[in-house]
Structure 1
Amino acid sequence: MKKLFLLISLSVMAVLPQANAAGPSIELDKAENNLRDQDSLQRGAQLFTNYCMACHSIKYMRYNRIARDIGWTDEEVIAKMSFNQAKVVDDVLTRMEPGVGTEVLGTEPPDLSLMARLKGTDYIYTFLRSYQMDEEGNWDNSVLKGTSMPHVLEGVQRYSSQEEYDQAARDISNFLEYVGEPAKLERHDLGWKVIAFLLFLLLLTWLLKKEYWRDIKH
């Protein structure tokens, strides 16, 4: 028993330094995005196209699926997101040639299809709003120190009010949440219908039980 207790103690002591090394968690701002806001999704799609697709892809999405879900026609999505350079059935891929990211940025930019599910929309929203310029005039991000991603929304931030820039970051995070799970709203809506059906079935079962046992004395 003493050996077992000693082994557990040593295991806990080995884990504690790793937990402390991780440091305090980052306090994230609330994105408060809304997947039912199609105007926001459309703005987010265009912002992603103009400022993100030069490096990042969302390869698990097709143009026609995006069009159907956010209220565009096939012609509109091709014109606005690929500038008529892709087919409507194509996957949404980056415009960056393979290897350029590693050569220029030192790393290959990740695909963002599942980034919202991995990090959460609050993280994306906070990250986009956390770029700061140091004394030497270089940009860095307080959420991810030393990030190789440049401040691609610098122009938007410079010529917008803080409220407008916050909305732009919210629209991008909203769009990426949709990309991470396109059927999320359908799943939620179906969930309520399933719960309502089960409650109705429960009521019918209870009434049927009452009818079966009505003439039986206990």
Structure 2
Amino acid sequence: MKKIIWILSFSASLLALPFAAQAAGGPGIELEPAHNNLRHADSLQRGAVLFSNYCMACHSAKYMRYNRIAKDIGWSDEQVVSQMAHGLNKVVDEVQTRMLPGVAMDVLGTEPPDLSLMARLKGTDYIYTFLRAYHQDENGNWDNTVLKGTSMPNVLEGIQRHASSEDYAQAARDIANFLEYVGEPAKMDRMDLGWKVIAFLLVLLLLTYVLKKEYWRDIKH
């Protein structure tokens, strides 16, 4: 029985590792919880539109295609071309930045990273906190408390200035939610299947233990 308890404890610790990794945004950074929900289709759709409108001027998500996004978040092919691509791309195209080659170095001094795996690298709490961490100094210049000196402008400035604090937070949350989906489109399917597999293995473990006890019942130790 002690072995079974140890195995269960070890399994639980392994399951907790991805969540612990996601919570780590870096040394000395206090992250706000995003509280995003991958099962919330409306949030994913809003996030896709916000990503298109505010992020794709510089960033891409090149490991995704428009038709895959449409299938997963509840859009038709026509809707994703209209809502995200704005008629500029085909539904089978990869989600690429709209910035022309070479412009980023001239304007920003660096090449903006592809955001396909950003949520897996940094976590949604980091993305949510980063988007909301912009502030103006005494000279009116924007900076970010999470990544000081970032060359990325405050893309949500318009929402921050003219919308309510709840809408501003929701916009950042929706973008973080969409980027988590982009980082692992099959995550919900994997998690749903994972618990079923673990439940099956636990039942199998119990049956194996009972069978072992039955085999050794008449054997003296």
Is TM more than 0.5 here? yes
C-alpha separation in 1, matches of 2:166 and 2:33:
14
C-alpha separation in 1, matches of 2:144 and 2:206:
56
Aligned to 1:161: 164
C-alpha separation in 2, matches of 1:63 and 1:145:
33
Question: What residue identity is the alignment partner of 2:143?
Answer: D
C-alpha separation in 2, matches of 1:103 and 1:182:
34
1:195 to 2:198 alignment = yes
Aligned to 2:180: 177
Aligned to 2:99: 96
TM-superposed CA distance for 1:202, in Å, is 2.6
**Any idea what the Cα deviations from partners look like across 1:160-208, whole Å, max 9, x if unmatched?**
1111101110110111111111111111111111012112323443454
C-alpha separation in 1, matches of 2:119 and 2:219:
59
Aligned to 2:71: 68
What are the residue-to-residue correspondences of 1:17-36 with 2, within 5 Å?
Answer: 25-36=28-39
Question: What residue identity is the alignment partner of 1:127?
Answer: F
Q: Counterpart of 1:102 in 2: which secondary structure? A: helix
What are the ranges of 5 or more consecutive residues in structure 2 without an aligned counterpart? Answer: 1-25
**Any idea what the Cα deviations from partners look like across 1:61-116, whole Å, max 9, x if unmatched?**
11111111111111111111101221211110000011101111111111001111
Aligned to 2:57: 54
What are the ranges of 5 or more consecutive residues in structure 1 without an aligned counterpart? Answer: 1-22
Q: Counterpart of 1:135 in 2: which secondary structure? A: coil
Q: Counterpart of 2:62 in 1: which secondary structure? A: strand
Aligned to 1:130: 133
TM-superposed CA distance for 1:140, in Å, is 1.1
Q: Counterpart of 1:44 in 2: which secondary structure? A: helix
**CA RMSD, 1 decimal:** 1.7
C-alpha separation in 1, matches of 2:110 and 2:71:
34
C-alpha separation in 2, matches of 1:96 and 1:106:
14
Aligned to 2:20: none
**Any idea what the Cα deviations from partners look like across 1:112-161, whole Å, max 9, x if unmatched?**
01111111111111111111112222111111111111111111111111
C-alpha separation in 1, matches of 2:100 and 2:39:
34
- Mean Cα displacement is larger for which, 31-40 or 205-214? 205-214
C-alpha separation in 2, matches of 1:209 and 1:119:
45
What are the residue-to-residue correspondences of 1:76-115 with 2, within 5 Å?
Answer: 76-115=79-118
Q: Counterpart of 2:71 in 1: which secondary structure? A: helix
C-alpha separation in 2, matches of 1:142 and 1:217:
68
C-alpha separation in 2, matches of 1:164 and 1:126:
15
Aligned length: 195
Q: Counterpart of 1:140 in 2: which secondary structure? A: strand
Aligned to 2:21: none
Question: What residue identity is the alignment partner of 2:203?
Answer: F
C-alpha separation in 2, matches of 1:38 and 1:190:
20
Question: What residue identity is the alignment partner of 1:193?
Answer: K
Question: What residue identity is the alignment partner of 1:79?
Answer: S
